[in-house]
Structures are given as C-alpha cells and as structure tokens.
Amino acid sequence: MKFRKIGVLTSGGDAPGMNASVRAVVRTALENGIEVVGIYGGYHGLIHDNVKYLTARDVSNCISRGGTFLLTDRCDEFKTPEGMAKAIETCKKHEIDAIVAIGGDGTFRGATDLTNHGIPTIGVTGTIDNDISATDYTVGFDTAMNTVLDMVDRLRDTGESHARCLVTEVMGRHCGEIALLTGMASGAVAIAIPEIEFDEDACIKKMAELRAKGKRNFQIIVSEGVGGIGSGFGENLAKRIEEKTGIEARYNCLGHVVRGGDPTLRDRVAATRMGAKAVDLLLEGKSNLVVCEIDSEIVPVDINYSFVLDKMYKNKLKDGDLDAYSAEQIAEMEAFCERKRAYVRELYDLANALAK
Ligand code: F6P
C-alpha cells in the first residue's frame, strides 16, 4: 500500500453533495486500511492546522445533508508561498501522505499546487455551476437546478395571477448551464446566458405579440454572468421590458439560496462514486487528476488538461497554453468544445422555439 494516511477537504463555494463525497472518501479509505484526516475549513484549515481524524461513524447521517460539515473557505493565503509552506508543514506534522480536495476550479488549482509541492492530490467536483469543462457533471448542479425550478414554479403562480413578467437571476458564475436547463424546464419565454448573445429586441417583440394574443405570464431566466457578474443586466432587463411592452415586470435574484438544501439522488450518487474513485486513484499511485463523469462513467482527467480545455471552451487560451499537448490531443479538445457549444445551442434554440 502506497499511503497510510490521507486528508480530505472541501473548498470554495459549498455544494449539495459535498458531504456524500466526504463520506465515500472516508469509508473507502478506511476499508483499505488508510487513516483519514478531515481538514476543516478548506485550504485555510490546512494552513492553520484545523484537522481531526475521521471514523466511519463520523460520517454517519451526512449523506442526506446539504452544505459541508467539513466547512469551506475561499482562501487567498493558500496562493502565497508562506501559506503553502504552512500547509505542507501541517501535512508533515500529521503525516498526511495525500489529499482529496472537493470543490471547483479554484480548489483544483490548489490541488495542483499541492501535488507540485510533493503532496499527491486528487480533485473531486463539488460546485453548483457545472462549469468544469472536462466533466459532464459537477456535484451540486442537480440540487441547485431543482431549487431554482421550485422557485420559478412559485413565480409562475404569481406571474399568472398578476399577468406579470418575472425576470429571475440565477448563479452559475460564467457558465449559463443552470439558467439554460432551468429555463427550459420551467418553460421560460426567454433565457439569457453568457455563452450566447441575447437578442433583446426579438425577446421584447415576441413578448408584445404573445401578450396581444392573451398570454399573461412571462418567466425569464438570466444567468448572473450575462454582461458580467454584478452588471445588473437582469434588473435592467426587467425595467426595459416594462417600458417597451407595458407588461409589468419584476426582478428576483435567487442568489445563495440555490446553494443550500439536501442533495438530490443524482448528486448523492455522483458524489459517492466520485469520492470513492478518488481514493482508488490514490491507491493506484495516481495524482493531479480531477475525477470526472463522462458519458455516465466516472473517470480521471489530468487537472492541467482540464484547465486548458476550460480555457479553450471559454476562448481564453493564451500563447503557450497548448505547448504541452500533441496535435491529436488538441484536435480532441477542439472537437469536445465544438460538441459542447452545439449542445448548448441546441437546448437554447429548442427552449426558445417552444416558448409561445
Ligand atoms: O461557484 C459557486 C458560486 O455559487 C457561483 O455560482 C457564484 O458566482 C459564486 O459561487 C458566489 O460566491 P460567494 O459565495 O463567494 O459569494
């Protein structure tokens, strides 16, 4: 056996299902004779030695709970050489041989830094945004979307009663998938996401025509990334709609409420499979990987490859980013990005076509 003791932490924005991943990590490791140290409060906890040994009983009853009992943080200190040195010291003090880091892309950057400093680390997805290009799915996405759906269904009731337009802004950072899927599933009349330019004139024209034909209730879902986070796009859109169509419009921002709540079955299963896989990979002597779900299989992807793929998908590649990759790998990445863009486009067009 390569490892005697591993650490597990959750970092970045909390996501429903993180607890289920921790449970899977702890019990898979213990089953293989590996001790588990829970690191509390993400990388901040690693720097400041906030740790506790975890037993199988310590993770009882957490599979059904939202948030993360290991607590979390967005830790700038970890990006400094001093922070990293302290984190390594904590690993040495507790003889932590490897770490499973559960979170989103910021967490995976930390994971790669740890691996580069001699602590093999594996990343497990835990973010509501579904914004890690290498994986079809990130833990927390399904629960968050179901929460949005529940809220928008409520807004539909009031929209119908008052003959109003409800513009709802949802989280997702720079990724519009929460808005796209919930927009489709809630029968929204329009969806605005960062990936596709929003045709506001067409939206307003359509709404005016539909109102003339007797439509009372208009739901619009806006992803927070449209126009840049904090740009006020959703709120201003509601004002412009009212001005130009005469349809009374109200704006709601769902915000952090979407991050809470008990994980759905989808999230518990994905989290469990991913957490267990992370330990299996460490046992195989592997590291610097992110555990992904691709075509329903739980598979590892190199973390750096995943970063580059993300940049390519978001058109943010810089000179030199592709230097480490073969022509075949680059072609594979390009094909992947094309498929993903086509998928987003297809859903967007279908949702729009059915909004009548
Ligand atoms: O990444 C998860 C997420 O909820 C994003 O959707 C959102 O933009 C961000 O975190 C909010 O971060 P914070 O909780 O630090 O305000």
Phi, psi of 137 (to 5 degrees): -145, 135
Nearest C-alpha to atom 12 of ligand 1 is from which residue? 13
On whether the CB atoms of residues 167 and 203 are closer than 8 A, the answer is no
The pLDDT tens digits for 52-83 are 999 999 999 999 999 999 999 999 999 999 99
Specify the pLDDT at position 8. 98
Burial profile 229-266: b = 16 or more Cβ within 10 angstroms, e = fewer: eeeebbbebbeebbeebebebbbbebeeebbebebbeb
Looking at the DSSP assignment, which residues form a beta bridge with residue 293?
A: 298
Q: Is 11 in the pocket of ligand 1 (CB under 6 A)?
A: no
Average model confidence (pLDDT) for the chain? 97
Question: Active-site residue among 105, 129, 131, 142?
Answer: 129
Domains, the chain: 5-140+263-303 (3.40.50.450), 143-259 (3.40.50.460)
Specify the pLDDT at position 56. 98
Specify the pLDDT at position 3. 82
Q: Which residue out of 68, 74, 128 has the highest number of ligand 1 atoms within 8 Å of its CB and is therefore the one to mutate?
A: 128
Q: Kindly give the distance from the C-alpha atom of residue 257 to the centroid of ligand 1, in angstroms, as a whole number.
A: 11
Long-range pairs for 187-190 at CB < 8 Å and ≥24 separation?
187/156, 187/219, 187/354, 187/355, 188/152, 188/219, 188/220, 188/221, 188/351, 188/355, 189/165, 189/218, 189/219, 189/220, 189/355, 190/220, 190/221, 190/352, 190/355
Q: Is 172 in the pocket of ligand 1 (CB under 6 A)?
A: yes
* Mean pLDDT, residues 145-174 taken together: 98
Identify the band that residue 194 occupies on the pLDDT scale cut at 50, 70 and 90: very high
The pLDDT tens digits for 103-155 are 999 999 999 999 999 999 999 999 999 999 999 999 999 999 999 999 999 99
- Measured from the Cα of 225, ligand 1's closest atom is 8
Active site residue 129: yes
Q: Is 176 in the pocket of ligand 1 (CB under 6 A)?
A: no
